[in-house]
Amino acid sequence: MSVADIRHDYSKNELLESSLADDPFRQFDAWFEEALAAKVSEVNAMTLASADAKGRPSARIVLLKGYDERGFVFFTNYDSRKGHDLQENPQASLLFFWPALERQVRIEGSVSRTSEQESDEYFHSRPLGSRIGAWASPQSRPITREALEANTASLGESLGEHPQRPEHWGGFRLAPERLEFWQGRPSRLHDRLVYERNAEGLWLVSRLAP
């Protein structure tokens, strides 16, 4: 079978204006809860797309660790490639794909660091191995496996069981300006409903052609 022959016709759900929440965060919450109930694997995994100061794009999977009306939060090493991208060019997009429900959510907006308190609270909720790893890994820089494991072992001994959060590690929050809810439909006639803020800060909804 060639790649061109791989096809899937979507038919499980529909997304109509009459069923859409007035607020995009309520709509996201409803879909996220449905994805949880459907036991979607890695339900909080999302593609984060960023670009550096020269506009060169890059994308990777990160994990959503919280969301509310202020935005969508994830954590990383600030010295990583994505960390540098987001500090040089604080605009980004997120993409959730839940194939079991034939749904996508696309989110675009500006990015800023979370508060130190938020970063501390999440860091201390992580398993010990992950906390040590935040110290041991010079993320996005060349390293051998042997050196990484040696760093981890050495720091595991020196930092003990209650390591503090390193200054180079913490959270980012994407404050959305545009959210698209995509529902797969038969014959590629998908439903695409978009929320965008107007000049008064109100959310307006429009339908896009598939």
Please identify which of the residues 178, 188, 197, 207 carries the catalytic annotation.
188
- pLDDT band for position 169 (50/70/90)? very high
Say whether 62 counts as a known binding-site residue.
yes
d(CA 210, CA 194): 12
What are the DSSP calls for 75-122, one per residue?
EEETTSHHHHHHHHS-EEEEEEEEGGGTEEEEEEEEEEEPPHHHHHHH
Say whether 86 counts as a known binding-site residue.
no
> 8-124+170-207 is classed in which CATH architecture?
Roll (2.30)
CA angle 169/66/141 to nearest 5° reads 30
Query: Is 173 one of the catalytic residues?
Result: no
Strand partners, 193: 181, 207
Say whether 67 counts as a known binding-site residue.
no
pTM tops 0.85:
yes
Largest CA distance in the chain: 59
Q: Contact at 8 Å (CB) between 96 and 46?
A: yes
Please give the helix or strand (H or E) that residue 157 lies within, else none: helix 145-159
Q: What is the pLDDT of residues 19-52, one digit of tens each?
A: 999 999 999 999 999 999 999 999 999 999 999 9
Q: Domain residues of the chain, as ranges?
A: 8-124+170-207
